[in-house]
Amino acid sequence: MHTMWKGTISFGLVNIPVKLHAATENKDIKLRQLHEECHSPVEYEKRCPVCDRDIENDEIVKAYECQK
């Protein structure tokens, strides 16, 4: 985990090292839009590059990558 801040607290002759870490981590799942028929990624223009045609919103499904 990434350290946000490092420093020391001193009490007289005693110095205690302190590190500050973030309390949360970003664990969002990024979904991709796929053409339902052939499962290829949808381009920005909502056009399937494999089928080479425009597709409607009801033909799009959501998915996430397990492996590259």
pLDDT in single tens digits along all 68 residues of the chain: 678 899 999 999 999 999 998 887 777 788 888 888 898 888 778 888 888 888 888 888 888 888 77
pTM above 0.75, yes or no: no
Cα–Cα distance for residue pair 19/58, rounded to 1 Å: 50
CB-CB contact of 40 with 60 (8 Å):
no
Name 20's bridge partners: 5
Residue boundaries of the structural domains of the chain:
32-63
